[in-house]
Structure 1
Amino acid sequence: MMSRIKILSWLTVIFFCWTLLGCSDTIESVQAFNSESKSPIPRVENISEVAPPKLIQELNKNFSQTKPEVKILSPQIDEIVNSQDVSVSLQVKGLDIFKDEELGMGPHLHFFLDDKPYQAIYSASEPIILEGLAPGTHTIRVFASRPWHESFKNPTAYAQTTFHVFTATEDNNPSQDEPLLTYSRPQGTYGAEPIMLDFYLTNAPLHVVAQENPADDIADWRIRVTINGESFLLDTWQPIYLTGFNKGQNWVKLEYIDENGNVIQNAFNSTVRAINYDPSLQDTLAKLVTDKISLDKVKAIALKDYQGLQEVKTQEKEEIIEEELSEEVEEVKEEKSEILEEELTPEVIEEELVEDVTDIAEPSVNESKPENMKVEQDKDILPQEIEPTADLTEEQNEQENISEELETKENKQEDVNDSDNQ
């Protein structure tokens, strides 16, 4: 009899949880899940949840089977580093991390040092150098992220290490056994709504396990979100998209609480960040959440070395044009070669050489004195003061020499004739 009751209770719990998971993760449904015994939730007036942007839903399909593996190779857990400059080596498998040069986004790592806002890491090939760390204990948390800063939530996507500079202290030293909340987004400046809220959970029990036996030590959990003073609860681990932020500065606080509304004591389980909302900023993320960029173009942030359809078409056209031009050039070369072979026969070459020699030996008067050449004389300059050109002088000298030779021959001929007559 007891076994039947236990089975029925299990089925009831499973059915109840399945119903919750099947519901849309809206603020209203999350608030309705809380019983009257829990702390009252302030009314949410400005902040509201909306569906994930369509482009992000489409891009997310590229990561449906992706399960990254992230490791911190150094420093090791509880390692004592005798320097305030620490080198951190990371390893990533199962995910290409990169940043598209044009769009400025891509799959990456969220790198957290203690309770500071994360640093986006787009390459793990070189160590990360942390300079001037304060003496004492420090904790590094790293997890893989999609291009729009949504965390991968498989267990191997997260890595954590706690080390000590010179010596250990109590600060920045989370318990390895207690649930741990890592605040991820929102962070920085946004140019458009909706704005994604996302976080990472470690050691958080399943609701089914936490609710199975009210007498055990397993505490059920919620995430209390407070935005500009308005609070609501989340009981599912997934990103949500929100609107209703103020222009300018806003503040967001995330707290990991138990079923009684108490913050579970562990480092980083209560974190607050200030963010900026500037609608004039139109970066890639703003265009992505407002569908103001084409899916074909924005795929470049999800797929490494992606060539869009338009880019492929342009490249194909350029290759076709280049090939056609190359063929035309070859045809022209062949035609010119054939013409040259036909025209430059030995007879033609000899004839052209003879003509060139003849032109040199007997220069044309017309060539030396173009018809269209006119020499304007100043009235004050006498004709004899104009000096002949060098070409004309040479021609005149040649003509005078020829005349002198002819005259000499004629004189000799006359002398011969006179002698004959005598």
Structure 2
Amino acid sequence: MIGLLTILLTACGDRLTATNLPTSETSNLPVVQGRISEVAPPALIQELRPSLERYAPQVTILSPLAEQVFDDTQVIVKLQVSDLPIFQDDTLKLGPHLSLIVDNEPAAAIYDLKQPIILENLAPGTHTLRVLALRPWQESFKNDGAFAETTFHILTKTGKNAPDYNLPLLTYSSPQGIYGAEPILLDFYLSNAPLRLSNTANEDNNLQDWRIRVTVNGDSFLLDTWEPIYLKGFAKGNNWVQLEFIDGQGNKVENEFNTSVRVISFDPSYQDGLSQLVRGDLSPTIARSIVDPNYQTIPTPEEETPVIEPETSIVEEENPVVEETPVIEPESPIVEENPVIEPESPIVEETPVIEPESPIVEEKPVETETIEKVEETPEAIESPLTTIPETKEINEPASGIQPPLEVEPIPEPQNNSEQKITIFDRVQQTLNRFQLASSPAEKDIELPTLDPELFSNVERS
């Protein structure tokens, strides 16, 4: 549908000025002068550019359709692009994108086709949409299919903003907006332009000798090649740039949009992503994220590596923490507290507490004040063999009582003696104990005596 011219030359010396035109036309064109001059592209852009050379984007306008008439001033635009990933880097806010131009107004950057694109408050009449596929630094792709256009109408058709597709069409791309660094890109797109066969004038077809006249702040120069160039010498503040499509005789080729002008601003303090890219403030690693969306994951481990280094120093600080192991030593005295068992030894020494039981024996005579207890003693005699274990415990403290006159517990230390006594002697001692506890009035009572022969058959203990 649209013929394209794809002649790309790299030598800056091939730029044309008015002196390259036929002598008859030399006086009609200005010569390059003033502060503006062409320089090489920024080094970082030259390094990134090959990353996108493999793409040949194909742009399509799905809506509005060609020659479509709308009964509203609002139009929804739907675009499609293939063979080019469009995205915007989160940090630098740059990336491959589409440039949407309504009529000859400044372009809008489209980074996400999933978001709705709505044109509002369009004036009644004819309008034309043009869409370009751009690199992150605003340079347009020049392949066939990287450009699309369509003409539609609001309420009615008019002759304005309707280019002739049989004639060459110039689309202004860059510069536009605010810039914080030089050089500044100058770029454009040509549609339906004939192939240039030579640098000489062709009287039969002046269109083959087309040129682009560039004017910056009143200083003009000519281009006969279709390629981006970088310029420096812009003044701080506002600057204006104009592009014109002319033939071999220096005459403007009349068609809509073949003459376009933009006002741009140059502020060296501006710190957007493009300005950092042009200045070279970015490392190639970070800058590569604007040409490859998947490359964003690669710089992250590189940024983490310096974080690992301080972590190693933290590990070194933990070594003195290991030296604090002597803290275990205070725990050793805790082990020495085992002598706590020693308090149990005084418990063993408390065994002499048994001695207070001896006063209990003294209380027994108090209970024997009655005579009835004396009368009961014969009953205990009836079963001396069965009560032997009990009398053994009672009489052990009294085994050493040799003087019958005292019942004091003094003889108790003599319990350790190994002297053996007969059952008869024990019974006799018991009787003597009761005899001592009796009152003087009862001394006349005669107690029955036991015949030793009764115990002659009993073994001595």
Give yes or no for TM over 0.5. yes
Per the alignment, residue 171 of structure 1 pairs with 160
Deviations 1:157-203 (A, max 9, x none): 10100001111111111111111111111101110110000011111
Per the alignment, residue 35 of structure 1 pairs with 22
Q: Distance in 1 between the 2:13 and 2:62 partners?
A: 39
What TM-score, normalized to structure 2?
A: 0.63
Per the alignment, residue 295 of structure 2 pairs with 306
Q: What SS does the corresponding residue of 1:276 show, helix, strand or coil? A: strand
Match of 1:140 among 106, 129, 136: 129
Q: What SS does the corresponding residue of 1:72 show, helix, strand or coil? A: strand
Match of 2:283 among 274, 286, 294: 294
1:158 corresponds to 2:147: yes
Seen in structure 2, the aligned counterparts of structure 1 residues 317 and 41 have a Cα distance that, compared at 3 Å, is closer
Match of 1:250 among 239, 246, 252: 239
CA RMSD of aligned residues (A): 3.1
How far apart are residue 412 of structure 1 and its match? Answer: 11
Aligned residue type for 1:220: D
Residue identity over aligned pairs, in percent, reads 47
Equivalent residues of 1:248, 1:278 under 8 A apart? yes
Q: What SS does the corresponding residue of 1:155 show, helix, strand or coil? A: coil
Seen in structure 2, the aligned counterparts of structure 1 residues 113 and 22 have a Cα distance that, compared at 3 Å, is closer
Q: What SS does the corresponding residue of 1:56 show, helix, strand or coil? A: helix
Query: After the TM superposition, which of the residue ranges 23-32 and 36-45 deviates more from structure 2?
Result: 23-32
Match of 2:49 among 28, 42, 60: 60
1:196 corresponds to 2:181: no
1:90 corresponds to 2:79: yes
How far apart are residue 133 of structure 1 and its match? Answer: 1.1
Q: What SS does the corresponding residue of 2:126 show, helix, strand or coil? A: strand
Q: How many residues matched?
A: 319
Equivalent residues of 1:30, 1:235 under 8 A apart? no
Seen in structure 2, the aligned counterparts of structure 1 residues 255 and 417 have a Cα distance that, compared at 3 Å, is farther
Match of 1:223 among 192, 207, 212: 212
Aligned residue type for 2:277: L
1:25 corresponds to 2:12: yes
How far apart are residue 123 of structure 1 and its match? Answer: 0.9
Q: Distance in 1 between the 2:77 and 2:226 partners?
A: 29
Equivalent residues of 1:89, 1:126 under 8 A apart? no
Equivalent residues of 2:215, 2:241 under 8 A apart? yes
Spell out the pairing of 1:41-52 with structure 2 (5 A cutoff).
41-52=30-41
Q: Distance in 2 between the 1:417 and 1:319 partners?
A: 94
1:419 corresponds to 2:408: no
How far apart are residue 33 of structure 1 and its match? Answer: 3.5
Equivalent residues of 2:22, 2:201 under 8 A apart? no
Aligned residue type for 1:240: I
Q: Distance in 1 between the 2:365 and 2:58 partners?
A: 124
Moved over 4 A (4+): 20-23, 26-32, 209-213, 216-219, 314-322, 411-417
How far apart are residue 143 of structure 1 and its match? Answer: 0.9
Q: Distance in 1 between the 2:290 and 2:203 partners?
A: 46
Per the alignment, residue 277 of structure 1 pairs with 266
Q: Distance in 2 between the 1:185 and 1:153 partners?
A: 14
How far apart are residue 215 of structure 1 and its match? Answer: 2.1
How far apart are residue 280 of structure 1 and its match? Answer: 1.1
Seen in structure 2, the aligned counterparts of structure 1 residues 213 and 81 have a Cα distance that, compared at 3 Å, is same
Q: Distance in 2 between the 1:303 and 1:293 partners?
A: 16
Per the alignment, residue 393 of structure 1 pairs with none
Match of 2:98 among 85, 89, 109: 109
Q: Which runs of 5+ in 1 are unaligned?
A: 1-19, 323-408
Query: After the TM superposition, which of the residue ranges 259-268 and 26-35 deviates more from structure 2?
Result: 26-35
1:71 corresponds to 2:19: no
Q: What SS does the corresponding residue of 2:288 show, helix, strand or coil? A: helix
Deviations 1:60-110 (A, max 9, x none): 010112100110001110011121110000001111111111111111011
Larger radius of gyration: 2
How far apart are residue 25 of structure 1 and its match? Answer: 2.8
Q: Distance in 2 between the 1:68 and 1:319 partners?
A: 42
Equivalent residues of 1:27, 1:49 under 8 A apart? no
Q: Distance in 2 between the 1:100 and 1:144 partners?
A: 17
Query: After the TM superposition, which of the residue ranges 247-256 and 212-221 deviates more from structure 2?
Result: 212-221
Q: Which runs of 5+ in 2 are unaligned?
A: 1-6, 312-356, 371-461
Equivalent residues of 1:106, 1:301 under 8 A apart? yes
Q: What SS does the corresponding residue of 1:418 show, helix, strand or coil? A: helix
Equivalent residues of 1:56, 1:289 under 8 A apart? yes
Equivalent residues of 1:180, 1:201 under 8 A apart? yes
Aligned residue type for 1:418: V
